Amino acid sequence: MKRTLLALAVVSLVACKKNEDANAKTSTSVGDVVNGAKTLNNLSASMDDIEKKMEELKTTAPATNDELKSILPTTALGLARTEIRVGDSSMIGLASADAKYSDNADKYVEISIVDGAGEAGSGMLAMLMMGLKAESEKTDAEGYEKTTNFNNVRASISEKKNGEIMESEIQYLVKDRYAVKIEGEGYTLDQLKAVMSEINTSSLK
């Protein structure tokens, strides 16, 4: 049953990727079919590992608010921390923490971390793990987004220009348990990746 659910999630994930661009062609090319098949094969080969991880995390106690809050740096790229939130997702069974860093002008960085432990957390993590296994890339006039090896981890990354403002994002896993997302406005992706080393994930279990 679990494998069936994961397979359905994989199909949904691929379908969503195909439908992201509202202006995409309605016909499917041979290249689309081949790339889709490769993605499904890659994800199917990883299902056993993902299932095992889900079972392990379901019975693991999520990190406390204080534990998650402690890994968020007081500054990011030289910006002062202006806001911190913990427990926002507790109503749906997720342990999470978020922080915002700003110069109170035109630049900011946001860091979000969600623990994949517990019933809800393990389901969230499984979807992210499958997404990171995919080989996907999209480029348009604003910029690009893709799933690739980045700064020594598997990550979903994007860099786009909104008018004159650069917007970048990095999403990746820490210790096959914690989902980390870093968003930046006014920074290139290359600049934003420095934030990854500013997050103190070494204390996480």
- Give the domain ranges of the chain: 2-203
Phi, psi of 41 (to 5 degrees): -65, -45
75 phi and psi angles, rounded to 5 deg:
-135, 155
Q: Where are the alpha helices (DSSP H) in the chain?
A: 2-19, 30-45, 47-58, 65-70, 118-133, 189-192
Cα–Cα distance for residue pair 135/147, rounded to 1 Å: 6
**Backbone torsions φ then ψ of 117, nearest 5 degrees:** -80, 155
Identify the pLDDT of residue 32: 53
- For residue 151, what pLDDT is reported? 95
What confidence score (pLDDT) does residue 23 get?
Answer: 47
Q: Percent of the chain, pLDDT > 90? A: 52
Mean pLDDT per 10-residue run, the chain (205 residues)?
41 44 46 52 67 87 92 95 89 89 90 92 89 90 94 96 92 95 96 94 85
Closest CA to 190 of 141, 150, 155, 143: 150
Residues 180-190 have pLDDT tens digits of 999 999 999 99
- Other CB atoms within a 10 A radius of the CB of residue 20 amount to 10
Phi-psi region of 122 (alpha: psi -120 to 50; beta: other; left: phi over 0): alpha
How many other C-beta atoms lie within 10 A of the C-beta of residue 166?
A: 19
- pLDDT of 145 reads 96
**pLDDT of 52:** 85
